[in-house]
Chains A and B, each alone.
Chain A
Amino acid sequence: MANMAQAIRMALHYAEENLGVTDIFGEDVGAPLGGVFTATQGLKTAWNTPLDERGIIGTAMGLAMAGARPVAEIQFCDYIYNTIDLLKLAGNTCWASIGQWNLPMVVMTPVGSGIRGSIYHSHSFDATATHIPGWKIVMPSTPLDAYGLMISACRDKNPVMFLKPKALLRIRGEEQIPGEPGDDKVLSKMIDAPLGDRSKWKPQWPELTAYAVPIGKAKIVKTGGQLTVVSYGRTLPLCVKAAADAGLDAEIIDLRSLWPYDWECIKESVKKTGRVLFVNEDTEVTNFGEHLVRRTVEELFYELLAPPRLVAGKFVPGIGLADALEMASVPQLKDIGEAMQQLAAEAP
């Protein structure tokens, strides 16, 4: 099965062939590298830019205004912060012009910890992204969802922020992307750029289809009745494993879309279990999970058997390089498992 980087690459290939994507660009996105995580190797519309994030976002906006359909990459989300006012502008352009101008553009950026990336390659962006109205925000945790969400993002008429959990980019999926060969080695030979000279290399793309995951639709990864766990990105598979390890009958929801998000899915699950744990790895103060906790309290208070809980990253200025520093800064399997067990056992 494809890994997430390959899945994104295949979705972008499908999008440039069939969905009108005209430009896939950013730092080292084009040949010869094809992206620092290989997600853009071999794409015919991929090109390299100056090392200028504001230029990348601004150009994407201009392209979208003039009728092109860009997919721009910021190499690591740690470097997206100097574009915040352009992101705000992209989010308000349709609104401020009372619908005259819409921006069909995708910005993708690797997020989160898990590769020992130290202070400037480990940051998350979901808390900040969800503070910028006018954007749709998605974050897959499996290659198939990455493929399907990218297809939807490239069809959308609005700016879509595609957050790539970098710890999962090399993880192979358990579900087949429609059209991909079942054998990993065959797929790799077809679409992974060779080491060394790549000047004559061309990918052999499989026959892909427009498998789409709708933006705004969560997925119940595992049904259960004891407690609800809502997560996305890197921490989602940890939640699944933690529940299994602890022998808990947890219902686990992969949110997949952070804005708009699938409140109905969360609500129905919490009404069933009466207990909910939100898990993500961004810093915990003004965290997106806090919004979900607030909404749970306000709308589902009388359904609850225990206070809703949040497991998130520590509110520290950076994620330190040393193993113990990273592990102590963002949620690990053990932290999630303990939080689940406490919540499941909590009684008034």
Chain B
Amino acid sequence: MAPRERKLKAVAPLVTHSDELPLDKKLLLQMHEMMVKSRALEERLIAMYKSGHGYFWIGGPGEEAFNVPLGLLIKKGQGPAFDFLHFHYRQSATLLAMGEDPIHALRQMKNTATDPYSGGRNFAGHFSKREWNIVPVSSPIEVQYAMAPGTALVQKRHGGDGITVVTGGDAGTAEGDFASCLIWSTRPGNELPVLIIVTNNKWGISTSYATQQGAARLSDRGVAFQMRTKTIDGNDPVSAYLELKEAFEYVRTERKPYLVEANISRLYGHSSASGANYVKDEADCITQFEERLDERGILSKKEAQAVREKWVEAIADMARKVKDEPQPDGSTIFDHTWARED
């Protein structure tokens, strides 16, 4: 069935800087390398799934242009002075941009006992890292929006510039928890420092956004709460970096929420449940970015290819190492049901 005609007009314009490169060369090259590294990781995870080295794959190839700048802008650390991060399962690129070692994602894919996020208990992409305030990613696609006001409330009281960042997809905004987040972060007199992000890939598994939600821009949902909002071109790392930077600065200094919708691609489908094959009819942010870097003489295609080969090889080496690591023992199933007593 064809998507029905949109009746509603967008309030927010689409913000893009895709025809400019106003960032310094070092940052552009750093973002490029992180994007390529993340893609190499996700493609390795998919290959592991397809060759029987994991039960299920889900991740974020296609979202690197948004997730890498996001990771670079996060104030990393533990406790309310630093950013609290309520992520979803498509954000390996954010973690790598924060400095995470990609081998841990491979461990989680292979559900080894050495997986530092969940000890072989959870799917790929379900990160958790307390020393960086990354709260456990879970499979429900909305619950993070309900939890975010809690961490933001502590940060508001704490003072300083630590904020809460919460990320979800467009399909998840249909759940009530998204509305909860808007309401709880804008209680009059108790506005909270939370950067509310929706990555809009236009799909919920096989169901298109256009057939289910009438809002032309998800960012318009924030308008009723007098919240700052914008919709950005999430396939362009320059747009993502500049617009996220502005949003981060607002939330850090004003201690009020900001809703950012990022239009992005979903390049390998929803997950392994839908085949995890490359989708040719969606924009590939890495290809696009490499074209621009080449045109401006910042990075040639040959150099870009060398970066890719470097990371494909490095991550393949990591996968070989992980292959021989032990699986968790069945006798450990009750471990960590309760908090450790000090």
Contacts and interface: CB of A to CB of B under 8 A. Distances in A.
Given A50-B187, A65-B151, A97 B177 contact: no
A32 interface: no
B84 A100 contact: no
A63 interface: yes
Interface stretch (A85-93, A234-242, A313-321): A85-93
A50 B183 contact: yes
Contact of B149 (A59, A89, A101, A102): A59
Contacts of A93: 135-136
Contact of A50 (B128, B151, B155, B184): B184
A134 to B, nearest CB: 6
A63 B154 contact: yes
A70 B118 CA distance: 25
Given A89-B140, A101-B128, A133-B337, A55 B119 contact: no
Contacts of A100: 128-130, 136
Contacts of A57: 146
A62 B122 CA distance: 21
Contacts of B340: 99, 102
B341 A157 contact: yes
Given A58-B180, A94-B337, A94-B339, A66 B121 contact: no
B78 to A, nearest CB: 10
A54 interface: yes
A174 B187 CA distance: 43
Contact of A58 (B118, B130, B149, B187): B149
Contacts, number: 136
Interface in B134-155: 135-136, 138, 140, 143, 145-155
A86 B143 contact: yes
Nearest to B130: A100
Contact of A66 (B84, B119, B129): B84
B155 A86 contact: no
B336 interface: yes
B138 A89 contact: yes
B147 A65 contact: yes
Interface size, A (range): 35 or more
B121 A63 contact: no
B135 A54 contact: no
Kindly name the residue among B130, B152, B338 whose own CB sees the greatest number of chain A CB atoms within 10 A: B338
A97 B84 contact: no
B176 interface: yes
Interface in B321-342: 335-341
A295 to B, nearest CB: 17
Nearest to A105: B150
A97 B128 contact: yes
Given A67-B154, A98-B119, A158-B339, A85 B130 contact: no
A68 interface: yes
30 contacts: A49-B184, A50-B180, A52-B184, A58-B148, A58-B177, A59-B153, A60-B150, A61-B146, A61-B147, A62-B148, A62-B152, A62-B154, A66-B80, A66-B84, A70-B150, A85-B140, A89-B138, A94-B339, A95-B335, A95-B337, A96-B122, A96-B126, A97-B128, A97-B336, A98-B117, A98-B336, A100-B136, A102-B338, A102-B339, A158-B338
Interface of A: 23, 49-50, 52, 54-55, 57-68, 70, 85-86, 89, 93-102, 104, 133-134, 157-158
Interface of B: 79-80, 84, 86, 116-119, 121-122, 126, 128-130, 135-136, 138, 140, 143, 145-155, 164, 176-177, 180, 183-184, 187, 335-341
Given A59-B147, A97-B118, 13 more contacts: A23-B153, A54-B177, A58-B148, A61-B147, A62-B84, A65-B150, A85-B143, A89-B138, A93-B135, A96-B118, A96-B121, A99-B339, A100-B128
